[in-house]
Structure 1
Amino acid sequence: MKHYLDALEEAGLIDSALYQRAIEASLELKEVIESTPQSIWPTIGQILSKLHKLPFSKQINYETDELKKLSTLYRTRMSI
């Protein structure tokens, strides 16, 4: 996600304050993911799968990369 935010900032599409808040939120999300017990990852995977299918095309397009990353993390954790 940081690469995406870096590109937005470099293009002048977001200001420094918004960039900083987004980076902080991204780091918080990473901490939550890493501290999540493995027992609930199947439920999280089901939720992500359903969210990906919702008809919020603009928002889903924006979040697709993040959903893919979370899905990859989910699959990785399930294979451990």
Structure 2
Amino acid sequence: MASLSLLPDGAERGVVPRRRLEFPERPESFFDEGERPLRTEEPSEPYHRGMLRIARATNRAERRWLREMLDGSEQDR
């Protein structure tokens, strides 16, 4: 995504972040129970819970940043 700043057209720059935003908004997990993804607090193993906590925080930060980019508040810094 770093090369997107080279595109002169803002609409073109927004295509990739918009597509990227679709990915972290889907319910996913590294671990599952059958067909059901496990929520962060569900695994009994502390390292699995830790991985899910870190993934959740990363996911939230990425979604927040992508939304800022798409609404223009982060564009010209």
Q: Assess same fold via TM > 0.5.
A: no
More strand by share: 2
More helix by share: 1
* Structure 2 length-normalised TM: 0.36
Bigger Cα Rg: 2
